[in-house]
Structure 1
Amino acid sequence: MKKYLLSIFTLILPLLTFAQDSTADQIDSIFKKYTGWFVEGIFSEIPFTDTIKIPWVLLVLIGGALFFTIYFKFINFTGFRTAIKVVQGKYEDIEKHGVDSLYGDQTPGGDVIETMKKEGADGEVSHFQALTAALSATVGLGNIAGVAVALSIGGPGATFWMIIAGLLGMASKFAECTLGVKYRDVGEDGTVYGGPMYYLTKGLKEKGAGGIGKVLAVLFAIFVVGGSFGGGNMFQANQAAAQFTKLFNLTGENAGMYFGIVMAVLVAVVIIGGIKRIASVTEKVVPFMAGIYVLAALIILFANFTLIDDAFAAIFNGAFTPLAGLGGIIGVMIQGVRRGAFSNEAGVGSAAIAHSAVRTKYPASEGIVALLEPFVDTVVICTMTALVIVITNFDGGFMEYGVEIKEGVEITATAFDSVIPHFSIVLTIAVILFAFSTMISWSYYGMQGWVFLFGKGKITDLVYKVLFLFFVIVGASISLGAVIDFSDAMIFAMVVPNIIGVIMLSPIIKKELTKYMNAINKKEEALEDGATDLVDEM
């Protein structure tokens, strides 16, 4: 471990020297010159009226989510209870060995329990670990700062449409994460390689569209690598460093760099171990930091419980009677849907990479688990943030709806501080933890794209990890507006090849869902008939 870390940072130092010699303005201007067209193209808006303009990428995200919701017969609602049971491990036995082995016809010549103990499903992590690894990449600054920004523009009504986006996004997550497990590659050492790159290549080849699939897969891989360096890394490091230096009133040109170095070391220790170590960290960090944040929000809501109905009334009424000058209902809808869709990343395809590493024989089992992700991220955490801001703003008046703010974290901190004095300190710690967990998860996403493009091997892994850790330090050290815009554009460019592929492969997803639900029903029927649950014997 020490030798590995030393070699990584020996390679980083020359890159860091170059970054320090190059000013932020120089880097910013170079990126803007050569990548501005790409950023404008991804975030360009389609004008419907003189005042209503909708980003085309948002239409693709929501359009895909609506398609999946209807095609899979509202799996985002009908599969919710099953998802909870899967995470609890209720069906772990059939996912590991197959339902026929455990609850089929136990005739002579069939599976032997002693042999089955040595057999099992491919994969590296549990359902819960895969869920928390994916959640760690989505639950973050968007839930704290992004919600405040959406409210400042769209008013309380934006929350309603944010919830709608989260509920629809559950179907998108189900679809893409089912495919992630279905078409993953498993190395001889048990390492899993999965995500849109693989289901676009292998899945579309099965349908006779191998050429299109390969092009879409390469595009996605390029986008996910770029997104991992920027939005999944530099932006997170930059915001964490800003909050940390502000909390401790640190000044000086090198304050951010020192913070970045410490953060890079911590990230290195985790990502060297791959998805297993990432998952083992996120399964502890995500519930802890989300729990603290939600608990604080509940304390505020309990202290102001008489205003909760007024807050929901403002949210519902605002969704259909929006602020003047915002462009009508559509204007409010755009703000809420944009925040919801961009926060949970449903349809982007990133989560399918983390979920593909799960241990199971039934791909749809992880798709069902994945649908919980937008619910937790958007419907629960984002909504609680919005309620706290709306309720505390009734008397506080610290936010004027319809006037866009730039520092969302500060507004959220003000809202929490108004009821829980000095909670902004805890919020700063939460921001740093959110940023850290997002970085380690996105390092895995980017690595998978990198390996797909350049092949598997220790040297390939080392090169990517060196670059990733370098960008942690750069992101914490300097302000890179154009670089961040470009990397964010790459994240949302992932939507295009992913949604195209998932829609084309939807019939296969439906077959996998039917297969898994039949397996669940077979187990439950067998248990009702008095069959022995063999999982206890193994």
Structure 2
Amino acid sequence: ALLAGTGAFLLVRTRFLPWRNLGYALRAALGREARVKGRDGDVTPFASLMTALAATIGTGNIVGVATALVAGGPGALVWMELAALLGLSTKLSECLLAVKFRRQNRRGEMCGGPMYVMRDGLGLGRLGAALGAVYALFAVCSSFGIGGMAQANSIAGALEASFGVPVRAAALATAGLSLAVILGGVKSVARVSAGLVPVMAALYLGAALAVLWGCRENLPAGIALIFRCALSPRAAAGGAAGTLMNTIRWGVARGVFSNESGMGSAGISAASAATSSPVRQGYIGMTGAFFDTCVVCTVTGLAICCSGALGAVDAAGNAVDGAALTILAFRSVLGPAGGLLVSFSVVLFAFTSILGGAYQGEKAFEYLFGVRRVLLYRLAFALAVLWGAAAELEAVFCFSDICNALMCLPNLLCLLLLSGLAARELDDFQPEVRRKRRKKL
């Protein structure tokens, strides 16, 4: 209720500008100007978006969608989409405010995010600083969970299932490669993310669309089933028995796990962008929720529902879940190559999520303990990746959900208190949006 309610409130408060200007936001994110580095910042606006997407396009898009469909029924996909659409306004405000209240650290790097907004933007003095410290603490814990352990667990599972790689070897390789990249700081993370994220997303989307084309005859019935289960008091399907509230719970939870709207983490990445306009970077950052959920999660969910894979059981009679369900859906059309492609996508998605999550957690750690102790965080994060690879999947997801909720509470409160400031900034920028539209026409 708080996640969706805050998104709805911000949407109304900003006069639906996040929806009205979605076209402008997509052009700003993908245009040539976003690839040009300005004076104030560490990386280009596009690289900043890719760093944020690296943290969000991960196991939630493959494993999380399948888990939501099994536990909450096909209707959970609708609630994932609704959470993302409302989350556009939330993420826009997060990124806008993060850039507006960012500052430089001793190394000359930009630092920003909800913790700085709470400290410097709320005008509450020590109370604002304390609220920022609480958020930063939760953000560090969340980076270990959603950013490290959950992603490493999926990598190890995918490599073992598809390629026979021992879990211990996968854990060591993942932790080592992650540490090698994050030791280079934000520029290293952004460089790897900007190279991998567009390629891996295009590869996965191409395969998913091929699956949908292969089962196109089932597409109308599959879409009808999804919407019918989204509103049904007994929204169960595929072996999942539950109520409408269960469907909403799983849809929203996995949606937040996937696009992170309301958590404030995207603002940490947005603050590194070399831009002079907080609003323009806010619009660019907002597209992360659209690409992540409205595009990638949608095609995953439709492929599972239309392929007939949902409801399948294994040899023990248990419902097929997680990455195995998505693999089954892709194999139904693409054969063995489809399963290998999903496993490869899981590895790439999860690895880039580790990098993005590490950067965001590092900036939160820096807020608490200063830039000199950042190396301690990087080593601790690598150990979390190492441990998470062999942990129980259910425990990892439960820990991640708890950390996500703890991050959301202070962040959403801050967004509500500063909603007026965000609305004024967006109104002042509206002439620029109109000018860009006239130029395009």
- Please say if 1:467 is aligned against 2:385: no
Whether the aligned pair in 1 keeps the contact of 2:57 and 2:259 (CA below 8 Å) is yes
Corresponding letter in the other structure for 1:431: V
Residue 309 of structure 1, aligned match among 217, 220, 223 = 220
Q: Which secondary structure state, in structure 2, belongs to the residue aligned with residue 419 of structure 1?
A: helix
Q: Which secondary structure state, in structure 1, belongs to the residue aligned with residue 360 of structure 2?
A: helix
Q: Which secondary structure state, in structure 2, belongs to the residue aligned with residue 361 of structure 1?
A: coil
User: Could you tell me which residue of structure 2 aligns to residue 77 of structure 1?
Assistant: 19
Q: Which secondary structure state, in structure 1, belongs to the residue aligned with residue 121 of structure 2?
A: helix
Equivalent-residue separation in structure 2 for 1:375 and 1:278 (angstroms): 22
User: Could you tell me which residue of structure 1 aligns to residue 57 of structure 2?
Assistant: 139
Point out the more displaced range, 423-432 or 348-357: 423-432
Equivalent-residue separation in structure 2 for 1:327 and 1:480 (angstroms): 21
| CA displacement 1:256-286 (0-9 Å, x = unmatched) | 3332222222112211221111111111211
Equivalent-residue separation in structure 1 for 2:79 and 2:437 (angstroms): 38
Point out the more displaced range, 495-504 or 333-342: 333-342
User: Could you tell me which residue of structure 1 aligns to residue 304 of structure 2?
Assistant: 389
User: Could you tell me which residue of structure 2 aligns to residue 446 of structure 1?
Assistant: 361
The 5-angstrom pairing of residues 82-481 of structure 1 reads: 82-89=24-31, 120-187=38-105, 189-205=107-123, 209-250=124-165, 255-323=166-234, 328-393=243-308, 398=312, 405=319, 407-422=321-336, 423-457=338-372, 460-479=373-392
1:134 Cα deviation from its structure 2 partner: 0.8
Corresponding letter in the other structure for 2:382: L
- Please say if 1:514 is aligned against 2:427: yes
Q: Cα 1:365–1:414, aligned 2, differ >3 Å: closer, same or farther?
A: same
Whether the aligned pair in 1 keeps the contact of 2:150 and 2:396 (CA below 8 Å) is no
| CA displacement 1:463-513 (0-9 Å, x = unmatched) | 111111222222224548657644542232000110111111112212222
**Number of corresponding residues:** 433
Equivalent-residue separation in structure 1 for 2:233 and 2:397 (angstroms): 31
Using structure 1 for the length normalisation, give the TM-score: 0.75
Residue 415 of structure 2, aligned match among 498, 502, 520 = 502
Whether the aligned pair in 1 keeps the contact of 2:179 and 2:379 (CA below 8 Å) is no
Q: Which secondary structure state, in structure 1, belongs to the residue aligned with residue 170 of structure 2?
A: helix
Corresponding letter in the other structure for 1:415: A
Whether the aligned pair in 2 keeps the contact of 1:154 and 1:322 (CA below 8 Å) is no
Whether the aligned pair in 1 keeps the contact of 2:171 and 2:386 (CA below 8 Å) is yes
1:328 Cα deviation from its structure 2 partner: 4.8
Equivalent-residue separation in structure 2 for 1:374 and 1:319 (angstroms): 21
Q: Cα 1:354–1:287, aligned 2, differ >3 Å: closer, same or farther?
A: same
Identify unmatched segments of 5+ residues in structure 2. none
Whether the aligned pair in 2 keeps the contact of 1:155 and 1:323 (CA below 8 Å) is no
User: Could you tell me which residue of structure 2 aligns to residue 5 of structure 1?
Assistant: none
Q: Sequence identity, in percent?
A: 36
1:221 Cα deviation from its structure 2 partner: 0.8
Equivalent-residue separation in structure 1 for 2:34 and 2:157 (angstroms): 43
Whether the aligned pair in 2 keeps the contact of 1:156 and 1:319 (CA below 8 Å) is yes
Whether the aligned pair in 2 keeps the contact of 1:228 and 1:443 (CA below 8 Å) is yes
1:191 Cα deviation from its structure 2 partner: 0.7
Identify unmatched segments of 5+ residues in structure 1. 1-58, 97-119, 529-538
The 5-angstrom pairing of residues 475-490 of structure 1 reads: 475-479=388-392, 485-490=398-403
| CA displacement 1:434-470 (0-9 Å, x = unmatched) | 111111111111111111111122xx12211111122
Corresponding letter in the other structure for 1:499: L
| CA displacement 1:33-56 (0-9 Å, x = unmatched) | xxxxxxxxxxxxxxxxxxxxxxxx
Q: Which secondary structure state, in structure 1, belongs to the residue aligned with residue 177 of structure 2?
A: helix
Whether the aligned pair in 2 keeps the contact of 1:297 and 1:384 (CA below 8 Å) is yes
Whether the aligned pair in 2 keeps the contact of 1:152 and 1:404 (CA below 8 Å) is no
Q: Cα 1:485–1:300, aligned 2, differ >3 Å: closer, same or farther?
A: closer
| CA displacement 1:229-276 (0-9 Å, x = unmatched) | 2221122112211221222334xxxx3333222222211221122111
Whether the aligned pair in 2 keeps the contact of 1:180 and 1:199 (CA below 8 Å) is yes
Q: Which secondary structure state, in structure 2, belongs to the residue aligned with residue 357 of structure 1?
A: coil
Larger Rg over CA atoms: 1
Corresponding letter in the other structure for 2:6: G
Residue 10 of structure 2, aligned match among 68, 89, 96 = 68
Whether the aligned pair in 2 keeps the contact of 1:226 and 1:491 (CA below 8 Å) is no
Corresponding letter in the other structure for 1:168: L
1:140 Cα deviation from its structure 2 partner: 1.3
Q: Cα 1:467–1:406, aligned 2, differ >3 Å: closer, same or farther?
A: farther
- Please say if 1:492 is aligned against 2:405: yes
Equivalent-residue separation in structure 2 for 1:162 and 1:521 (angstroms): 31
Corresponding letter in the other structure for 1:74: F
Equivalent-residue separation in structure 2 for 1:126 and 1:81 (angstroms): 20
Point out the more displaced range, 125-134 or 329-338: 329-338
1:182 Cα deviation from its structure 2 partner: 0.5
1:522 Cα deviation from its structure 2 partner: 6.0
Point out the more displaced range, 466-475 or 448-457: 466-475
Q: Cα 1:430–1:91, aligned 2, differ >3 Å: closer, same or farther?
A: closer
